[in-house]
Structure 1
Amino acid sequence: MMPVTMRQGPIVFAHRGGGQEAPENTMTAFSHAYEAGVRHIETDAHVTADGRVVICHDETVDRCYDGTGVIAQMTWRELSALRHRDSGEQLPLLAQVLEAFPDAYFNIDVKEPGVEGPLLDVVADHGAADRVLVASFSEPRLRVVRDAAASDPDRAVATSLGTEAVVRLVGAAKSATNPAWWHVPGPRQGAIAAQVPMRQGPVRVVDERFVAAAHTLGLAVHVWTINTVADVLRLLEVGVDGIVTDRPAFLRDFLDARGLWTPPPAPGAVSGPRD
């Protein structure tokens, strides 16, 4: 199963590969993060009209590529002809990314309904279930993934909590009640992490009580998207397990200078929340 904690210091997740240090969601960005020693990459997946799983945050190519169109309505042949506006690269395929970084871990946000099946097929074809975590705001999408994972070891990816489960976990933390009473899924249901923002509007999500409640259920806490020293220091104080950042090389150096950088474990290793 994908490691979601480290023995010292938090895991660094390269958000879209590290969009402030390289063009987001490109092979260049993933390579940059990898060369900096970061082995956990957060990214996003869509499915083309002919069933190929591609890496892109937006549902359209308009912002990042030299064309226009909705990914779900375009074929791979059409998409493969486009080039990134900054780097000149082709839109990556998930299969290509898994092959290029065989000892990296991927936190993949399922952006649209219907992505789950094709994504799990690619993961199974590459024997990569133990290094993939599927994330989504959508509880129904996560249930599809968890049901498939429970019935097929080749598709046994981990998942994070959906929005409804996070709201229940926040409620448990703020009321100081047993989070199990709030029916928050945990490792037995295939969920191994709560991936959350520091704040949601006026509500502070991540504090010591939230981290403690998550750890009670065996869940790691990963916080997005963190790019300032002040926010990193606050998260270190409350003991989070992972930090999702657009500045992976910077964060790696920041943690290393404080003795808080841990080289990533080998694929297949399992680790739980820190003591």
Structure 2
Amino acid sequence: MNVSAASSRPAPAYLANSLPARRGWPLGFAHRGADTGRENTLAAFRAAWEAGFTYLELDVRTTADGVLVVFHDETLDRVSTAVGAFSALTWEELDAHTVGGEPLLRFADLLAALPEAWFNVDLKDRDAAPAMAALLAEHAAWDRVLVASFHDARRRAFRRALADLGHPERAAGPRRVATSGGAAAIAALVLLGPLGMTGWLRRHALEIDCVQVPQRQGPVRVMTPGFVRRCHAAGLAVHVWVVDDAAEMERLLDLGVDGIMTDRADVLAEVFTRRGIWPQH
């Protein structure tokens, strides 16, 4: 990744493994634990860790009593034994239910259970932002988490929550919390980047460390050589989701992407092994 003077801030520790100056490895992310039958459960994350994943992608929502739980959907019906709106239940009520036979998981418990893992966390509701900031403070886990959301407002709310806690979120080093741009930020980069504005957006508007993008958004192809090149020149890492096909993984790695999220742990491990970058811990 060519990080030029366009970047005004040093990269946070979370992204250090993917910087050429350190190791030069693209990162492999286990999407929701890369186990579609037990998604976002401790069993799935443990299995991904044991398979060689250092970086685990997950989603968090807040319960009716403010507990941060690892869960994707707004409703409980698709994957769990509970029904109805997730936010309507307390943790005590949710604790009796399972996903794929595994108990639901509090984010605090995940931090404790896998102390060497790094977590890519998608904030799924507004209250998750201050709850996440408080947990990172409690566990001193600033460098173990990258905070993402499709809604840029949630990322900004997370930054405000850090400031309210007195956390120096603009500092360099291990106390920097990494963040990724949401839908509006990515749209700005895709539409304005070809006009030479990627660096300006990075410095003055977005305050993010990476972009996590699909290969296409509707009719628009996001992942192009030019997009990767412009992001790298502006100091932004590029992670792509969700990729399960080996040939597509190879193509993206040849483009120079800095990370791939997958539901197929076995396929990604095979591709990365061929390139000599597996396991990642």
Match of residue 235 from structure 2: 218
User: 1:238 and 1:173 mapped to 2: Cα distance?
Assistant: 17
Task: Name the TM-score, length of structure 2 as normaliser.
Answer: 0.85
**Residue 144 of structure 2 corresponds to residue 128 of structure 1:** no
Match of residue 122 from structure 2: 109
Match of residue 68 from structure 1: 83
**Residue 2 of structure 2 corresponds to residue 2 of structure 1:** no
Aligned pairs for 1:242-257 within 5 A: 242-257=259-274
User: 2:161 and 2:269 mapped to 1: Cα distance?
Assistant: 35
Identity of aligned residues (%): 43
CA contact (8 A) 1:8 1:261 kept: no
CA contact (8 A) 1:146 1:190 kept: no
Which of the numbers 58, 63, 70 marks the counterpart of 1:48? Answer: 63
**Residue 234 of structure 2 corresponds to residue 208 of structure 1:** no
Match of residue 11 from structure 1: 27
CA contact (8 A) 2:52 2:278 kept: no
Match of residue 267 from structure 1: none
SS in 2 for 1:191: coil
User: 1:189 and 1:103 mapped to 2: Cα distance?
Assistant: 29
CA contact (8 A) 1:168 1:184 kept: no
User: 1:3 and 1:35 mapped to 2: Cα distance?
Assistant: 21
The size of the alignment, in residue pairs, is: 258
CA contact (8 A) 1:169 1:213 kept: no
Match of residue 214 from structure 2: 197
TM-aligned CA distance change 1:149 to 1:218, over 3 Å: farther
Match of residue 246 from structure 2: 229
Task: Name the TM-score, length of structure 1 as normaliser.
Answer: 0.87
1:228 is aligned with what amino acid? D
CA contact (8 A) 2:240 2:260 kept: yes
User: 2:178 and 2:268 mapped to 1: Cα distance?
Assistant: 25
Give 5+ residue unaligned stretches, structure 1.
265-275
